[in-house]
Structures are given as structure tokens and as C-alpha cells.
Structure 1
């Protein structure tokens, strides 16, 4: 198991407020290159949730879709300001993913390849079948 994958797999234990039911049923459906981005997002959301007692969150799915990060969650009991800050943090991470190679984490470019949208750096794109 890669260090990046181990980092992703540890997130449910590190952030029980985001993963109250434990690990995701299908795991994190992203390549290793986005592990740091997902970890930073989880840390940010956890710090936001520490500001309120009433909010409850459940991360439902974290995956790649159309070459970008998708972070699906359910949020209950949060006021409009907390909901907005979390929504903004997720949107920023999803937008950032279109500039980070999903395989290695280096700066990348959002492009189409073989009928699929991907975000890859030049080196990973050169090895793309």
C-alpha cells in the first residue's frame, strides 16, 4: 500500500466527526495524487465543525468524476453560515483538483484523453495508454 493510500485510509479515524459510521463502503475512489488535497479538505471541515455543537456531518463518497474531485456529504443541524463555509471549502478543493495530477500530485492540466476527462501532469500524461 502506498503512503498516499495509507493517508486516505487513516482519515475516518482521524476525523470521526466527518466519518461517524467509520470508513466509506467503497473507500476513497481517487488516485494517490489527490490524497493530500482530500486530507487538507477533511482537516479544514473538521476545524469548521469544531466551531458548532449542533452540526452533524457524514461524508458519503469521495471520488473522481470528469477528471475532478467530487466530495459528497450530508450535513444536518448547521446554520447557514457554517453550511456556506463548508460548501465553499468543498468547492475550492474540487476546483483545485483540476490543476493537480490525480496520479502523482504534481501540477497538472485538466484534459480529455481517450474519451475520458483526466487531470494529469506532463509526465503522467506521457505514460497514459
Structure 2
């Protein structure tokens, strides 16, 4: 297991308000290169939640889809303003993932390999 994968796997224990049921059923369905993006997103969401002790989030799924980060969650007891802040944080992370190699975390670009989209750097790129 890589250090990045270990970081991802430790997030449910580090952020119990985001992962109230513990580890995700299918785990983190993305490459290790995005571990920093997901970690920073969890830190941001936890900070936003501190503003409302009664509010909660449940992270449902974290994966790659169409070459970008998808972070699915539900929230309860949040104001409209807080819901917007949560959504903006997730959208910012998803946008950042479109420029970060999913495999290694270096700066990357979208690659279409036989219809499969993914963001890779020049080192991880698979040439046709």
C-alpha cells in the first residue's frame, strides 16, 4: 500500500463527522495521485461544519468518473449558506482534479484512451 493510499484510507477515522458510518463500502475509487486533493477537501468540509455543531455530512462515495473527481455526499441540518459553501468546496476539488495526474499527483492533462478519460502527466501517459 502506498503512502497516498494509506492517507486516503485514514480519512474516515480522521473525520468521523464526514464518515459517520466509518470507511466507505467500496473504498476510495480513484488513483492515489488525488489523495492530497481529497484530503484537503475533507479538511475544508470539516472546517465548514465547525460553524454549525448540529449540522452533519455523510460522504457516500468518492471516485473518478469521466476523468474527474466525483464526491457524493448528503447533508443534514445545514443552512442554505452552508450548503452553498459545501458545494463550492466540492466543486473546487473536482475542478482541481482535472489538472492533476490521478496516478502520481503531478500536473496532468486529460487523456482519452479508447473512450476512457483520465488525467495523467507526461510520465504516466499511455501513448496510443
Specify the SS of the correspondent of 1:53.
coil
Deviates more, 1:111-120 or 1:88-97: 111-120
1:54 deviates by: 2.2
1:118 aligns with 2:109: no
TM-score, scaled relative to structure 1: 0.96
1:85 deviates by: 0.3
What does residue 43 of structure 1 align with?
43
Specify the SS of the correspondent of 1:43.
helix
1:56 deviates by: 1.1
In 1: Cα distance, 2:92 partner to 2:64 partner: 15
More helix by share: 1
1:107 aligns with 2:112: no
What does residue 93 of structure 1 align with?
93
1:28 deviates by: 0.4
Specify the SS of the correspondent of 1:63.
strand
In 2: Cα distance, 1:8 partner to 1:74 partner: 20
In 2: Cα distance, 1:104 partner to 1:111 partner: 15
1:111 deviates by: 2.6
Deviates more, 1:59-68 or 1:49-58: 49-58
**After superposition, what is the alpha-carbon deviation per residue over 1:38-89, rounded to whole angstroms, capped at 9, x for unaligned?**
0000000001001102211100000000000000000011001110000000
In 2: Cα distance, 1:27 partner to 1:37 partner: 16
In 2: Cα distance, 1:55 partner to 1:112 partner: 40
Specify the SS of the correspondent of 1:69.
strand
1:7 aligns with 2:11: no
In 2: Cα distance, 1:96 partner to 1:111 partner: 16
